[in-house]
Amino acid sequence: MAQTDDRKAALDADFTELYRTHLRDVYSYSYYRVGNHHDAEDLTEQTFLQAYRHFERAQRESDGRPMRPWLIRIAHNLAANLYRDRLRRPQSPLDENSPVAAPHSTEDLVSGRDELARVLEGVKQLPDDRREALIMRFALGMDNREIARALGRTDGATKVLIHRAIRQLSEIVAHEQEGIDQ
């Protein structure tokens, strides 16, 4: 009985460390994926609950590899489920009704915000796999190997996916800019 308690305590300590280490990454991924804080918090909580249920097995199977891709994959699957559920029963987000902050008078700041808005809007137009790869790469700073593990792809396929995503995003943003300049 004491061995079981010791093993459970060690497992809980390991999970606590995993949680502390990757909470910010899981939340950031969730936020970039769903676009609002409330849903991102819910997805983050669900991700760690799901991870806790399967942690012992995942720890055994990880073979010493980092666990972050595993967590991001859980968040990815939960976000996909959220979108699927929302397609079945659409709802309007509360964030659309929030007041708009007063713009700064500095032209550079406004221009930078406009460009950022075009980029973020462009990211939304990308196919799911490309959007996911860019979020993992640039929002979370994951390397290609981690992204490959999270998406269940080879390293080479992931490198190509990111390259194509960046190229497509550049084309989208350039096209949007042309529309503004005309």
What pLDDT is recorded for position 140?
86
Q: How many domains does the chain have?
A: 2
What band does 94 get if pLDDT is binned at 50, 70 and 90? very low
Q: Are residues 66 and 114 in the same domain?
A: no
- Tell me, yes or no, if the pTM score tops 0.85: no
Q: Are residues 158 and 128 in the same domain?
A: yes
pLDDT above 90 as % of the chain: 36
65, 90, 115: which is the final residue of a domain? 90
Contact 34, 43 (CB under 8 A): yes
Q: Is 1 a member of any domain? A: no
Locate tokens 């010791």: which residue? 6
Residue ranges making up the domain that contains 156: 107-182
Distances in Å between the alpha carbon of 89 and those of 92, 106, 140? Answer: 10, 42, 30
Q: Is 71 a member of any domain? A: yes
What pLDDT is recorded for position 90?
53
- The yes-or-no verdict on residue 30 having pLDDT over 70 is yes
- pLDDT tens profile 122-137: 888 899 889 889 888 8
What pLDDT is recorded for position 103?
47
